[in-house]
Amino acid sequence: MSLELSLGLTLAFVIIGIISGVPIGYIFGITCIIMLLMTGNFTSITFLVPTSMKILQQFTVLALPLYIMVGSLLRTTELSTKLFEFLRAILGRLHGAFGGAIVLFVSVFGAMSGSAASAIAAIGSLVIPEGTRYGYDKEYTTGLVANASLIAMLIPPSLTMIIFGIASKTSIPLLFLATAVPGILTALFLIGLNFFLTRRWKFTPVEQKPVTTVQEKGVLGKGITALPALAVPCIILGGIYGGVFTPTEAAAVAVAWIMLYSLAVSTLLAIRRK
């Protein structure tokens, strides 16, 4: 069987599987088996296994679960919620402030976990139901969260860039620098587009008097509660580009920082209860 026909059949199988709702992991796994059967190139299996094991044994690969753990800990400790409230307080009650806060949150959260899925999990259940209070359709809020989550794949430390760096043996800090500017520009574009659409479609916040002072916005108090979360990207990016940590070590330090914060908070709560 020709290679072109094999590729066409496997592509058709992938499309049919996605439309049918089959989990993507199963689709790719079965597709690989079908491709091997059609091409008859079974020698690639003996090459694939040792190569995969060699890649998994690299120290840099440890960064992947550590950055995922950072995102999970931020959700568990509710630091992600505090961070979002702080960013929303900064924007006040401007038209489109709620949507702008979503994009800002995903950008900052991406600088902590580097994962689009983690960013969606951290903010999706919080903002999609609450968006209706601010005049946002669920469809619009969902689309904004989904599009903004892609920024987390560009803002350093990006898990995608870590995987690319491992596979291509490219400097991961340099890859982070290469995607930082596109990530920031994408965030600014989405914020501007959100403000434009909210004015055009006349999305309005809850009827309240305009916020004019920092005290009324509650920025100071919310900023203090969000400080532990804001320290995470400073630890990661500052450590990497300051030459203190490698990307893997920076992830480990960030995990340790959040766990120490969680331990300190739980200890203080236990003392107060007594």
Other Cβ atoms closer than 10 A to 36: 16
As a whole number of angstroms, the distance between CA 239 and CA 114 comes to 16
Is there a single domain that holds both residue 164 and residue 179?
yes
Is there a single domain that holds both residue 189 and residue 110?
yes
Is there a single domain that holds both residue 159 and residue 239?
yes
Number of domains in the chain: 2
Is there a single domain that holds both residue 120 and residue 215?
yes
Is there a single domain that holds both residue 37 and residue 91?
no
Is there a single domain that holds both residue 158 and residue 226?
yes
As a whole number of angstroms, the distance between CA 164 and CA 116 comes to 16
Report the candidate in 148, 223, 222 with the shortest Cα–Cα distance to residue 186. 148
pLDDT digits (tens, 9 = 90+) for 95-144: 677 888 888 888 888 777 777 777 777 777 777 777 777 677 788 888 88
As a whole number of angstroms, the distance between CA 159 and CA 114 comes to 5
Is there a single domain that holds both residue 22 and residue 116?
no
Is there a single domain that holds both residue 49 and residue 96?
no
Instruction: Choose one of 41, 56, 71: the last residue of a domain.
Output: 56
For 12, the domain range is 3-56
pLDDT at 211 over 60: no
pLDDT digits (tens, 9 = 90+) for 248-269: 888 899 899 989 988 888 888 7
Q: First CA to last CA across the chain, in angstroms?
A: 75
pLDDT digits (tens, 9 = 90+) for 234-252: 888 888 888 888 888 888 9
As a whole number of angstroms, the distance between CA 76 and CA 266 comes to 13
Other Cβ atoms closer than 10 A to 204: 11
Please name the residues in contact with 94: beta carbons below 8 A apart, sequence gap of 6 or more: 100, 195
Please name the residues in contact with 20: beta carbons below 8 A apart, sequence gap of 6 or more: none
pLDDT at 12 over 60: yes
> What would the DSSP string read from start to end of 124-171?
HHHHHHHGGGGT--HHHHHHHHHHHHGGGGTSSS-HHHHHHHHHHT--
Is there a single domain that holds both residue 85 and residue 190?
yes
User: Which H or E run includes 91?
Assistant: helix 79-91
pTM: 0.69
Q: How confident is the model at residue 9 (pLDDT cuts 50, 70, 90)?
A: confident
Average pLDDT, stretch 41-53?
A: 67
As a whole number of angstroms, the distance between CA 175 and CA 34 comes to 34
Is there a single domain that holds both residue 52 and residue 63?
no
